[in-house]
Amino acid sequence: MAVRPITIIGHKALHQPTKKVREVTPEIRTLVADMFDTMDAANGVGLAANQVGVRWRIFVFDCEDGDDVQHRGVVINPVLEKGAVPPGDPDPREGLEGCLSVPGEHYPTARSDWARVTGTDLDGNPVVLESTGGTLARALQHETDHLDGHLYVERLSPRYRDEARRDIKRRAWAERGLSKWDPAAGEAEDV
């Protein structure tokens, strides 16, 4: 299929809730195939449709759960359930999170250790993903946040939020007229 440009923080598509998919059309199938290609080219573990500028409630993923089992797939119209998020600053060694829409940056982000997402696949079959720990639990929360119009940097504690603001300002994407980056053309840090 094709690698699509990834929207960068500040782009309005990242801050709008997505729309429920009513029918899986050939265009939706192409979008999902392109999302897998884009995620792979960017070395990501997940990608939401609005990160490639499309407002459908879809995400793809490729990451390990808490038992080191690799999971790869798509969820259409995901609904998230999660446990409590621990208060305070997360351990920087265990809670480091990044995002393809905030390329090159990573910050400790408090997330629940347990998450479950329900939805469907491209053929309308039920999908239930549940993870305790591991990257999958974090990714389920992260990607669903995207579809709700939120970025992980909005979930940072005040200490790390200030650091993220400084780093994003230093990157000066908006000042350089950048709203997207092409993972097929190079690493995110090159943006």
Q: Which residues are annotated as a binding site for Fe cation?
A: 99, 142, 146
Contacts 24+ apart (CB under 8 A), 83-86: 83/112, 83/113, 83/114, 83/115, 84/112, 85/110, 85/111, 85/112, 86/110
- In 108-188, alpha helices (H): 134-147, 158-171
Residues contacting 12, CB < 8 A, separation 6+: none
Annotated catalytic residue: which of 143, 154, 175, 189? Answer: 143
Give the annotated binding-site residues: 99, 142, 146
Active site residue 175: no
Provide the CB-side half-sphere exposure for 94 (13 A, CA). 12
Positions marked catalytic: 143
